Structure formats: structure tokens, C-alpha cells
């Protein structure tokens, strides 16, 4: 575990959660990246564990939650989006067959062009997920992680995959409400829920927004496109956590350090947590104008 190359450009890889090679939660003593250690604590030890133990996510599948973990996450940790954590949250179980907790695979990208490497990183994590699922023992699992770590820095040099913002906004056309109003509702909700304000003394607990995604979008493109929109709209935002369940047409956007109760949304269906474009906000004409101008420039 750890960075590769000089400090200005590196990739670190980590894993935590459950796997049949361990009697309980797996431990990885090589998880030395501070950002990945914090991710394990905030997302897993505090967030996921709290929601499971509190009963917010019941062990039985129901209409009030998604069937299982199968999520992709993007966590920007800076205003320049040059420190990113890309992750996959996957169904798993320990050696005793207990399957309430997931396996989490994460890569920390530290580079000026980190955003362009998001799709390649998700593909690598998907390949690693398949290798981990095939690993029957602890040694096989660790060997798969070590092999992935050795090749991890390559994702920074696999082309320039820019966020498809124009394609995202183009998908709003023909929707109800209109394309401009749909985008305006998203921008309004982002400003209201996520933007830094003087009365928010902490990065924790300041909001959540569920954003629409075209059904033909990959996880990586949905996450990178919405990150680009959020960065344009709220440039002072220190960071943001974006999570999308695979095969579902939405992205949940949360503050950089979400409270455990806020993370409950990642397994909530659209019937329980609606997309913000479906909420009939009373919008100021100025925000509709700005949404139209932005969409025109992006296209």
C-alpha cells in the first residue's frame, strides 16, 4: 500500500469490509494512505456499520431499501478535484457466511488530471472486484490486491476521458419539466443543500441532493459529469461525496464528511428519496436563466 512516484502524482489502493478469507471484518495493515484510512473510518466503520446496526438497513430486502450493495463512489477532497477517491461497494460475506456488510475497494488518485482517470479507475476496480470474488482464501485475496496495487499508477496515463457534461445536459431535453427547469432545480438544490455558508461551522451534516442520470450512462461518466457541474456551480465547495447504485438513474451528492444518518440514502429507492428535478421548487427567474446559459455553453 502507499503512493507511487512523487507526491504531486500518485495512486494508492485499499480494501476493507468483508471477505470469505476472514472470520470477520478484514484487516489490511498496509492501508497507510491517510485519505483511505479516513475513508474506511467515515464510510465503513462509522457510516455503513451505524446504518446496519441501527436497523436503518434491514437484513431483509424490502421496498424501503435497495436489494444489496452495488455502488460506485467518487469522493473529491479538494476544491481543485486533484485528490479523488474512487470506490466500489460490493456485496460480500465473511468466512461464517454473514453477508450484511459489503466489501469496499478504493483508489486514491492524487494528480492534476485525476478527473480524467475516473473511468479507467472504475474499470480497474471492477476487474479487481472479480478477482476478489474468485479468491477463496486470504492469501489469494491479498495477492489480487497486491497485483492491482502494482499496476494502479497506470490509470493516470490511459487517455483523457473528459466528463460528458454536454451529454448529461442533453439528456434533459424532452423531459418533464423542461430541460432548463430540470437543470435549474438541480442547481437550486445544490446551492441550498451543499454550498458553504457562514452559519455552517463544520463540513459535516450540511446536506444531501439526489441528481438525475441518463439510463445509458456508466457509473464513471455519471459521477464525473455531475462533479464537473457541481464544481462550476459551487467553485468554493471544498469537496463532495457522490455515490451511485449500479443500474439506477441517479447520483446522491453529499457533503465531504457525511454523517452516518446521511449515508442511509445510498440504499433508499427513488420512491423514498425523489430526484430533485421532480421537486417543484419555487425558482427565481435568475437561476433558470443561468441554467440555460450554462447548458448552452456546455453544448
Q: Rounded to whole angstroms, how far apart are CA atoms 298 and 47?
A: 35
Residue 295 has a pLDDT of: 85
Residue 55 has a pLDDT of: 87
Residue 62 has a pLDDT of: 61
- Tell me the mean pLDDT per 10 residues along the chain, length 299: 51 94 83 89 94 83 75 95 96 95 96 93 97 95 94 85 89 74 93 77 67 93 96 91 96 91 92 91 91 84
What the block records as the C-alpha cell of 13 is 489502493
Structural domain boundaries of the chain? 10-157, 165-298
Q: Rounded to whole angstroms, how far apart are CA atoms 12 and 236?
A: 26
Residue 59 has a pLDDT of: 64
Query: Number of helices (H) and strands (E), helices first, in the chain?
Result: 8, 7
- Phi/psi at 114 (nearest 5 deg)? -60, -35
Q: Rounded to whole angstroms, how far apart are CA atoms 222 and 171?
A: 12
Residue 206 has a pLDDT of: 61
Amino acid at each position: 500500500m502507499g503512493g507511487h512516484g512523487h507526491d504531486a502524482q500518485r495512486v494508492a489502493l485499499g480494501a476493507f469490509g468483508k471477505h470469505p478469507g476472514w472470520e470477520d471484518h478484514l484487516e489490511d495493515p498496509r492501508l497507510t494512505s491517510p485519505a483511505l484510512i479516513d475513508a474506511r473510518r467515515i464510510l465503513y466503520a462509522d457510516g455503513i456499520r451505524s446504518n446496519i446496526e441501527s436497523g436503518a438497513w434491514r437484513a431483509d430486502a424490502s421496498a424501503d431499501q435497495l436489494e444489496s450493495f452495488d455502488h460506485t463512489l467518487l469522493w473529491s477532497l479538494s476544491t481543485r478535484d486533484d485528490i479523488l477517491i474512487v470506490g466500489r461497494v460490493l456485496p460480500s460475506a465473511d468466512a461464517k457466511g454473514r453477508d450484511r456488510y459489503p466489501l469496499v475497494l478504493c483508489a486514491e488518485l492524487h494528480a492534476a488530471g485525476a478527473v480524467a482517470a475516473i473511468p479507467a479507475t472504475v474499470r480497474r476496480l471492477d476487474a479487481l472486484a472479480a478477482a476478489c470474488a474468485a479468491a477463496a482464501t486470504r492469501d489469494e485475496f491479498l495477492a489480487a490486491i497486491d497485483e492491482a496495487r502494482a499496476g494502479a499508477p497506470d490509470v493516470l496515463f490511459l487517455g483523457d476521458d473528459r466528463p460528458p457534461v454536454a451529454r448529461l445536459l442533453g439528456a434533459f431535453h424532452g423531459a418533464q419539466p423542461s430541460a432548463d427547469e430540470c437543470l435549474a432545480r438541480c442547481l437550486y438544490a445544490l446551492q441550498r443543500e451543499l454550498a458553504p455558508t457562514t452559519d455552517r461551522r463544520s463540513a459535516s451534516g450540511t446536506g444531501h441532493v439526489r441528481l438525475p442520470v441518463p439510463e445509458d450512462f456508466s457509473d464513471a461518466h455519471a459521477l464525473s459529469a455531475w462533479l464537473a457541474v457541481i464544481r462550476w456551480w459551487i467553485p468554493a465547495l471544498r469537496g463532495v461525496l457522490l455515490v451511485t447504485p449500479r443500474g439506477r438513474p441517479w447520483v446522491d451528492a453529499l457533503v465531504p464528511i457525511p454523517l452516518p444518518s446521511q449515508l442511509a440514502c445510498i440504499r433508499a429507492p427513488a420512491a423514498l428519496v425523489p430526484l430533485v428535478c421532480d421537486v417543484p421548487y419555487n425558482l427565481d427567474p435568475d437561476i433558470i436563466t443561468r441554467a440555460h446559459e450554462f447548458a448552452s455553453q456546455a453544448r
